[in-house]
Chains A and B, each alone.
Chain A
Amino acid sequence: MSTGLEPVDGDLEGSEADLASLIGDRALERDDHVNAPGFVIRPDDVQDVLFDLRDRAGFDYLSCVTAQQYEDRYESIYHLKKYDDPTQEVSVVVPTSTDNPVSQTAEPVYRAADWAERENFDLVGIDYEGHPDPRRILLPETWQGHPLSLDYNQEKPQMVTLAEHANPLKGDTKDTETDTMFLNIGPHHPATHGVLHVKAVLDGETVVDVDPDIGYLHRCEEQMCQQGTYRHQIMPYPDRWDYVSAGLLNEWAYARAVEDLADIEVPEYAQVIRTLGAELCRIAAHMLALGTFCLDVFGDFNAVFQYAFRDREVVQDILEDLTGQRLMFNYFRLGGVAWDLPEPREDFFEKTRDFLDGLPRKISEYEDLVVTNEIFQIRCVDTGILKPEVAKSYGATGPTARGSGIDMDLRRDDPYGYYENLDWDVITEDGMDNYSRVLVRMGEVEESAKIIEQCIDLLEDWPEDDREIQSNVPRTLKPDADTEVYRGVEAAKGELGIYIRSDGTDKPGRFKIRSPCFHNLSTLPVMTQGEYIADLIASLGSLDIVLGEVDR
């Protein structure tokens, strides 16, 4: 039986010529992107081509679906990758006409396309034929127009309903005979980690159906980035996507995409500082994940929560020394970082080392309190099962995927920064349950500490006359028109990808964010159907979503 973990047996290698012959006549023309070869196909060939690419060439990971409107057409782009080797990429470009923007859905091939295409319909206005659930996803059902289409008028009034929900005592699943109950969780609820609304149908205490309703924090991040200039105006926004101190990881996603787009070099010294800062952020983010998860399964403001926040305070202090901010760092620049390490450098190193020296003791404390705790194990072991093949189909990444045994980490598999020169391991667990996901995060904290330690050693010995923190970047950056790039980095929650199309000006023509939380959250119904309602809360907590990133 397939476990979903062995590599897909394609009869083709991923080389460009192979792909071209696989797609054959169905490719109308080539539209290569900076990161991958691109093939333009007809809107009614989508499933055909994607099935071939998945089953014969092994592209089992639908990373992102971008939609955009040009003057003369709409366009959907399917960014495909492989879980085994994320550097092998291919883009499938599907243009549709302006008058009748209808394209075949990719949902039967990749479940990840379900939510992604709903989002594209919502924001850009492309209809996906055959989509099982063609509703808006981020904006309210009563919204008029598609805000990222070219003719959208932002000044027009809009109406939002506060719908009274169905009578909770009345059965309202399809079968009128069943004795089910409808339950709203959120959007204001302490266990939803923000403003998430979960519509749950219960049979007794068992979850029959779950429908996450998102969009309560849709802050138009893509529009904001499309209005900003590359050089300085966009960088503050990534901090606010995944806002649990993971700012530098997000900034790196933007920096990496533009640096590849405009061919900007980053000095090695700056890469080491970036790596150091990013891993500090990862520790802070995972600490919050652990603390709030314990809040969910133990209830109330308990000891673990307070301990986790104690440790976050220390990390935030260090990051404040480095960047000048506690939470919204705005520290990376295109081609480097904003400034060098704080003076006196020895104090900074000492402070960081103190933190790292204290960390093993703290981690063993967490192990006593959490991992080996019997109550915690009863709540988490074998609940919220996410099978690897399901996780892959939904495009899950990060600790969520690694907790299901999928060995993918972009820091190792698609190296950037200084990671490939450092000695660290990717943590995976085979449990597929809530417990495994917690173990992965705790393991990653230790690995991050290892990385930080090596970065400090490097920075301490770095020759003083070679401390270049930024390369020479033009004051006004104008990448060539119609260059397209999609680049991902390993953020705290998984692959955070950015697609940018330049239009020759100093602002992006299209800026699309591939959010890891968005795709991880879409696995929630699979994980929780048939389980107890209490396990739904635990599963939601173990996914570690941040609504700022889900909704963008």
Chain B
Amino acid sequence: MSNEPTQQIYDSTAPSTEDRDARMGQGVDARMNSKLREAFGASPFILTKFDQFMNWVRGSSMFMLQFGIACCSIEMIHSYAIKHDMDRFGAGVPRASPRQADVIIVPGTIVSKFGPRMKRVYDQMPEPKFVVGMGSCTISGGPFQEGYNVVKGAEEIIPVDIHVPGCPPRPEALIYGVAKLQERIANGESSPVVVKPYELEQFGDLPQDELVQKLADQIDEDDLVMRYNWSDSP
């Protein structure tokens, strides 16, 4: 040890790599010290916008809602299962409860009876939430478009971020759609939430027309209803 204090001080502030090596420990453990860690060097900090960081996190760890409706859900299950394994993209943990999910894949035809229920499930998800519409039925009603009971696309009821066309789309197509969604989320883009043609309303708030008067003794004033104006549908 040197007896000269200045020299001691000089040595201690030298920009050396010793500190980094000390911090990284003897014999680099390949598992713990990633390339990223090495690149950060002595100061393991990066500067980024918090927003950007959060978006990156959101996109890289998506909890999907386990939501099966129709034919497309079979291909959706295949995307989660062996071979296609959507977990590779950080999007493979289906949650049974909407309260734990942040992405909902709508895999199938929405019919009148299911519309209000889907709206309710969507409303139960915490913000920020994203929607992938899977298959032609969620775009326009698909092959069932002319049906008396079929809602002409999921977008009539909830906002949709990504549409995956096909009847049904292959698992590869769904995974591409999810990857595109991740890209959008990482860039901070999402679809605007606007009022949709079909909303849940209290029965008492509806304008008094023929249909409302006919149903007045069947439905309570505070009951939630969804009114389908089929003639206005695309």
Contact = CB atoms under 8 A, between A and B. Distances in A.
Interface stretch (A53-61, A302-310, A470-478): A302-310
Given A155-B230, A188-B117, A327-B74, A217 B81 contact: no
Interface residues of A, number: 56
A154 B78 CA distance: 36
A190 B76 CA distance: 14
B75 interface: yes
A189 B144 CA distance: 24
A144 B117 contact: no
Contacts of B218: 141-142
B147 A219 contact: yes
Nearest to A191: B96
A129 interface: no
Given A139-B149, A140-B113, A306-B82, A236 B75 contact: no
Nearest to B83: A313
A215 B215 contact: no
B56 interface: no
Interface in A494-552: 547-548
Contacts, number: 166
B212 to A, nearest CB: 8
A162 B117 contact: yes
A313 B66 CA distance: 20
Contacts of A157: 211, 227-231
Given A147-B148, A227-B146, A326-B75, A160 B112 contact: yes
B84 to A, nearest CB: 8
A142 B74 contact: no
Contacts of A328: 71, 167-168
Nearest to B94: A301
Contact of B114 (A155, A195, A220, A316): A195
A422 to B, nearest CB: 29
Interface in B111-129: 111-121
B179 interface: no
Nearest to A152: B148
Contact of A160 (B73, B170, B226): B226
Contacts of A327: 71, 74-75, 168
B64 to A, nearest CB: 12
Contacts of A305: 81
Residue among A144, A188, A327 with max Cβ neighbours from chain B (10 Å): A188
Contacts of A219: 70, 109, 111, 144, 147, 149-150
B77 interface: yes
B71 A220 contact: no
Interface stretch (A24-32, A239-247, A374-382): A239-247
Interface string A230-271: 000000110010011100000000000000000000000000
Contacts of B168: 327-328
B219 A309 contact: no
Contacts of A190: 66, 96
A220 B150 contact: yes
Given A141-B218, A147-B148, A187 B114 contact: yes
B215 to A, nearest CB: 6
Contacts of B150: 219-220
A216 interface: yes
A306 B203 CA distance: 46
B69 interface: yes
Contact of B228 (A160, A217, A221, A236): A160
A159 B225 contact: yes
B108 interface: yes
B49 interface: no
Interface in A147-193: 147, 152, 154-164, 187-190, 193
B200 interface: yes
A312 interface: yes
Contact of A161 (B77, B212, B225): B225
A322 interface: no
B68 interface: yes
B214 interface: yes
B143 interface: yes
A521 to B, nearest CB: 16
B42 interface: no
A160 B143 contact: no
A195 B98 CA distance: 15
Interface string A190-230: 10011100000000000000000001111111011001000
> Which residue of B70, B219, B224 has the most chain A CB atoms within 10 A of its CB atom?
B70
Contacts of B75: 326-327
B78 A187 contact: no
Contacts of B215: 142, 159
A288 interface: yes
A328 to B, nearest CB: 6
A216 B170 CA distance: 24
A162 B120 contact: yes
Given A220-B144, A220-B148, A236-B143, A188 B121 contact: yes
A156 B167 CA distance: 28
Given A159-B211, A159-B215, A217-B108, A223 B147 contact: yes
Interface in B90-117: 94, 96, 98, 108-109, 111-117
Q: Which one of B119, B149, B225, B230 has the highest number of Cβ atoms from chain A below 10 Å of its Cβ?
A: B149
9 contacts: A158-B227, A162-B223, A195-B114, A218-B113, A219-B150, A243-B74, A310-B81, A313-B78, A328-B167
Given A187-B117, A217-B69, A327-B168, 8 more contacts: A156-B211, A157-B230, A158-B227, A162-B226, A163-B223, A244-B74, A328-B167, A328-B168
